[in-house]
Structure formats: structure tokens, C-alpha cells
A and B are shown apart, each in its own frame.
Chain A
């Protein structure tokens, strides 16, 4: 079974600063994806960014980028020029897929509560 660990329960930064959220995972699988989800106070789950494990290039989406270190099983999220609207819970997630088709459900970490201060 896979495990996902987020070691920072809460982080607080000033608006416009850059912040990095940590995530490590443990798996013996080769076929998987990694994700960061955002959950604002509305409780809606929003996909921020995804990374295919077979790709060496780190994924980027506007102000969001990841540092994927496959050998170290590390998957951190960097938020640049942070905004008040980035305040939310952030969850790191793992999904195993099968080469013949099909995938398991998402395995989530415990989350990091990110607070952006004005």
C-alpha cells in the first residue's frame, strides 16, 4: 500500500512571497501519478497540478510548480507570488494506474494549511 506524508500541518507567509509545501511518499510501484489539490474554506476540492512519474520534467501551472525527486520519493509544491486567494488546505495525493487499464483511487496526505497574510 502507498503512503503519503505531509510534514507541515500549517504554514503562514506574507502576500507576494514564495512558499514551498513538502510531500514525501512511499511506494514500490512504477506506474503512478502525483497531484496537489487545494481545498479552500468552501471545501471544494480543486486540482492544482499533476505530475506523471515517468516524466523527469517538473510540472508547472502558472504560479505553481513542483520539484519531483523520484529517487527520493519527494514531491514538493512551490507557489510563487502568493495571493490571498491561495489560503487553503493543500493535499498531496498519489494514484497508481495499471498499464492494462484502470487505476486505484487517490491516496491523500494529511494536508498542509497554508495561510497567506496581507
Chain B
């Protein structure tokens, strides 16, 4: 158990819908990362937040957005869902934003299925 929690574990929805994935980082971690793992794209970095502010952006689609709240939990919002958005979405957390090495601890993931 990494200490990072993600809810829900599984999510099944239809094309065109909007969903919200939630992540609670390890106690004391200020940085949250979101990753997508799909058969087509593999594992790819989406976005990073540090203490409530966006710090780095990867291959995140415009239909996707994220935020980190004052209690440091983060939400990833996916809208206008397409079949290709079906994937395992990971959240990871670390103590700081980077620089000197800070290990990223991964949550168990949320499995999203778009029908």
C-alpha cells in the first residue's frame, strides 16, 4: 500500500459523458501527478500540481482538466468522453515538486471504461 488513494476503482460510462476521478496523496506530500495507461498510448504523463498550483503539463487533452484543492486532494475531470479515453488512470504523489529527487508513489488507479 503506497498511501495514495484513488476513487472510484472502476467507472463505466457512455460516450459524451463527463466523469471525475479523485486522488488523495500520501500524508505530507504536496505534489500530485496524473498518468494515463492505455493500450494505444501506453503510460503517459498528463499533468502535475504542487500545493494547489499547476506545475507541469504533459499530453493532456483539452477535454481533460484537473485541480488540486486546499486539503491537497486532486480531481481529474474528463469530459465529452470518447471510446479511446478508456484507460487506467493513475495518480502519484511526492513530497515536493522535483529538483532534488523525490520518489513518486503511485495509487492503485481508476479503471475507466467508455461504452
**Chain A interface (Cβ within 8 Å of chain B)?**
33, 43-47, 50, 52, 91, 95, 97-111
Contacts and interface: CB of A to CB of B under 8 A. Distances in A.
Nearest to A109: B42
Contact of B90 (A45, A99, A100, A109): A45
A69 B97 CA distance: 27
Contacts of A110: 42
30 contacts: A43-B108, A43-B109, A44-B106, A44-B109, A45-B90, A45-B92, A46-B106, A50-B103, A52-B101, A91-B43, A95-B98, A97-B101, A99-B99, A100-B99, A102-B55, A102-B56, A102-B97, A102-B99, A104-B56, A104-B58, A105-B46, A105-B47, A105-B58, A106-B33, A106-B43, A106-B45, A106-B104, A108-B43, A108-B44, A109-B42
Interface of B: 2, 33, 35, 42-48, 50, 55-56, 58, 88, 90, 92, 97-99, 101-104, 106, 108-109
A101 B97 contact: yes
